[in-house]
Amino acid sequence: MSDGDITGAVEALLFVSDEPVSAITLAKILDTSPSEIDAALSTMATRFQEEERGIQLREVAGGWRLYTHPAYHDVIERYVLSWDTRQLSQAALEALAVIAYYQPTTRAAINGIRGVNSDAVISSLIEKGLVREAGRDPGPGNAILYATTRTFLEKFGLKSLKDLPALENFAPDEQSREFIRARLSARHSSMEIDYSTSDEDTEGSATADDDDLEIID
């Protein structure tokens, strides 16, 4: 198979896939080497960018996936209405943000930060596949811990939790930023989850501090 054929085949496979596909998986399907797949992916990404295409190739959740270009999101929204993050209620977005930045965390902690009962919105987020149960808190009561899922990364276009925007960037003043930094330091158990395995396999697999979560919007 020539380089052009490999690139075309990779594009076709990513086009029909409804989830990120790893370079290793693509190499196995096309019976070629991972290095050739990497070259094909690089070629595709460069071509899409140079030609100002309506789609982008992005690495998310341990694999590669095609996304519509952000510049055309308004056009797409006018054309088709499908479930996406903008259909989440304000309450659900708030609860999801708390879980994303403080995971693994309990219902009580989420309620405490939001100041209201979050049971219903947490159940809704679980139904949508954005949140999962991630074990039990070792403290009194053994409360259920909640964490985000691979689907969360996919829907928000994140490669990993390190691609979450720095939480303190949302603070309006230095006093608020200091408060957030203190909260993050206290939550040293918050982590980066390995999404290369199933959600069930990653329960309780926190390894990175919240202070490491930085970045893009």
Query: What is the predicted pLDDT for the residue at 209?
Result: 37
Question: Is the domain of 91 the same as that of 29?
Answer: no
Tell me which of 172 and 137 has the higher pLDDT.
Answer: 137
Higher pLDDT, 25 or 139: 25
On whether both 117 and 192 belong to a single domain, the answer is yes
- Residue where one domain finishes, among candidates 78, 105, 128: 78
13 domain-assigned: yes
- For residue 58, pLDDT over 60 is answered with yes
Per-residue pLDDT of 114-144, as tens digits, reads 888 888 899 889 988 899 999 898 888 889 9
Identify whether 139 is part of a domain.
Answer: yes
Does one domain contain both 73 and 133?
no
Q: Contact at 8 Å (CB) between 55 and 68?
A: yes
- Give a yes or no: residue 112 inside a domain: yes
Quick one: pLDDT band at residue 190, thresholds 50, 70, 90?
A: very low
* Residue 183 pLDDT exceeds 60: no
Domain end point (choices 62, 78, 94)? 78
In this structure, the answer to whether residues 49 and 98 fall within a common structural domain is no
Concatenate the DSSP letters of all residues of the chain into one string: --HHHHHHHHHHHHHH-SS-B-HHHHHHHTTS-HHHHHHHHHHHHHHHHHTT-SEEEEEETTEEEEEE-GGGHHHHHHH-----GGGS-HHHHHHHHHHHHH-SB-HHHHHHHHSS--HHHHHHHHHTTSEEEEEE-SSTT-PEEEEE-HHHHHHTT-SSGGGSPPGGGG-SSHHHHHHHHHHHHHTTT-----TTS-TGGGTT---S-GGG-----
In a domain, 136, yes or no: yes
Domain assignment present for residue 158? The answer is yes
Shared domain for 124 and 202, answered yes or no, is: yes
Q: How many CA atoms lie within 13 A of 188 on its CB side?
A: 2
Domain boundaries, position 143: 85-212
* Calpha distance 217→214 (Å, rounded): 10
**Band (182; pLDDT cuts 50, 70, 90):** low
113 neighbors 64 (Cβ within 8 angstroms): no
Domains in the chain, number:
2
Shared domain for 136 and 188, answered yes or no, is yes
pLDDT at site 197: 39
- 94 and 144 belong to one structural domain: yes
Domain boundary among 50, 78, 106: 78
Residues 146 and 193 in one domain: yes
Q: Does residue 89 sit in the same domain as residue 185? A: yes
The CATH number of whichever domain residue 64 belongs to comes to: 1.10.10.10
Q: Are residues 156 and 207 in the same domain?
A: yes
Identify whether residues 202 and 98 lie together within a single domain. yes
Q: What is the mean pLDDT of the chain?
A: 77
Mean per-residue pLDDT for 48-68? 90
Domain-located, residue 217: no
Is 208 domain-assigned? yes
42 and 108 together in one domain: no
- Predicted confidence at residue 90, as pLDDT, reads 81
